């Protein structure tokens, strides 16, 4: 799989402008999957209430992403506020043909954030098959729990994608926690953050693609950037054979 992680620096921009910048970033890369940040469609730190900006999983945001996906021949994962029976902090994957492949609802709000009053919690993990790999989805705060990545790995995931909105106060999450999650579960991990500033907040940037042995294959700086890495199932198998954490964890 040819994997891309798009670190957007689109603070203050509307959805159409965000799409235009993603369109430009994807041009010429021939990706199987591109992963965008948490609440990419609207921005995370914004003045409006995300509940007022919500759209169904097949609504306005999905339509715009689907056009890009078909134009570039790549699946695209992106964060957005989902309007359903309640409003959710969601991330969807649209296939290269424009069809909705999966929709994940964040299961736990980031503590002390507006999410606690703006969004309902999702109820289940999300997995799908794409380009010959089993892909699991999580959003931001979910990856800070060891159980999230372990559950994905035990469910057969080769790749865990994590849209996020991490600010500069928490570098330990991107630099220490994320590589550890990949290493301790023997899976690929794609961590897609925002860059630059939005409202009165500065994002860390630091998006990354981590291999199943914990090596950081690509790391973004503080601004807008597209990371690209070829990933494969063979390295997952090798990592899990070398260190059989998934086998041996049942004895603890």
- The pLDDT tens digits of the residues spanning 98-115 come to 999 999 999 999 999 999
> For the residues 64-68, what does the mean pLDDT come to?
98
- Report the CATH number that the domain containing residue 37 is assigned in CATH: 3.60.110.10
Catalytic residues: 38, 106, 140
Which residue has better confidence, 25 or 250? Answer: 25
Q: How many domains does the chain have?
A: 1
- Angle of helix 178-185 relative to helix 146-154, nearest 10 degrees? 30
| Cβ partners under 8 Å of residue 216, min gap 6 | 179, 208, 209, 210
How do residues 80-95 score in pLDDT, each as one tens digit?
999 999 999 999 999 9
> For the residues 221-245, what does the mean pLDDT come to?
97
For residue 121, the model assigns a pLDDT of 98
For residue 72, the model assigns a pLDDT of 98
How do residues 112-153 score in pLDDT, each as one tens digit?
999 999 999 999 999 999 999 999 999 999 999 999 999 999
Q: How far apart are CA 69 and CA 123, in angstroms?
A: 28
182 with 210: CB under 8 angstroms? yes
For residue 249, the model assigns a pLDDT of 86
Residue 252 has pLDDT above 90, yes or no: no
Dihedral sign from CA coordinates of 128, 130, 136, 139: negative
Residue 133's domain spans which residues? 2-251
To the nearest whole number, what is the mean pLDDT of the chain? 97
For residue 250, the model assigns a pLDDT of 74
Please tell me the total number of residues recorded for the chain in this structure: 252
């Amino acid at each position: 799989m040819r994997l891309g992680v798009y670190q957007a620096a689109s603070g203050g921009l509307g959805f159409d402008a965000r799409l235009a910048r993603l369109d430009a970033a994807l041009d010429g890369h021939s990706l199987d999957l591109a992963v965008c940040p948490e609440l990419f469609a609207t921005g995370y730190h914004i003045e409006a209430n995300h509940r007022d900006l919500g759209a169904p999983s097949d609504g306005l945001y999905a339509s715009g992403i689907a056009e890009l996906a078909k134009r570039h021949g790549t699946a695209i994962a992106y964060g957005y506020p989902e309007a359903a029976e309640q409003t959710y902090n969601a991330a969807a994957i649209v296939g290269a043909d424009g069809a909705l492949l999966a929709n994940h609802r964040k299961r736990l709000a980031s503590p002390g954030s507006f999410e606690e009053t703006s969004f309902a919690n999702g109820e289940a993990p999300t997995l799908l098959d794409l380009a010959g790999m089993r892909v699991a989805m999580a959003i931001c705060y979910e990856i800070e729990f060891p159980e999230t990545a372990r559950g994905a790995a035990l469910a057969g995931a080769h790749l865990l994608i994590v849209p996020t909105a991490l600010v500069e106060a928490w570098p330990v999450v991107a630099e220490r926690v994320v590589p550890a999650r990949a290493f301790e579960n023997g899976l690929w991990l794609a961590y897609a953050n925002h860059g630059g500033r939005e409202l009165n907040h500065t994002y860390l940037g630091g998006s990354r693609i981590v291999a199943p042995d914990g090596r950081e294959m690509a790391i973004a700086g503080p601004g807008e950037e597209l990371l690209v890495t070829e990933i494969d199932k063979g390295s997952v198998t090798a990592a899990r054979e070398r260190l059989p954490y998934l086998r041996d964890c049942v004895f603890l």
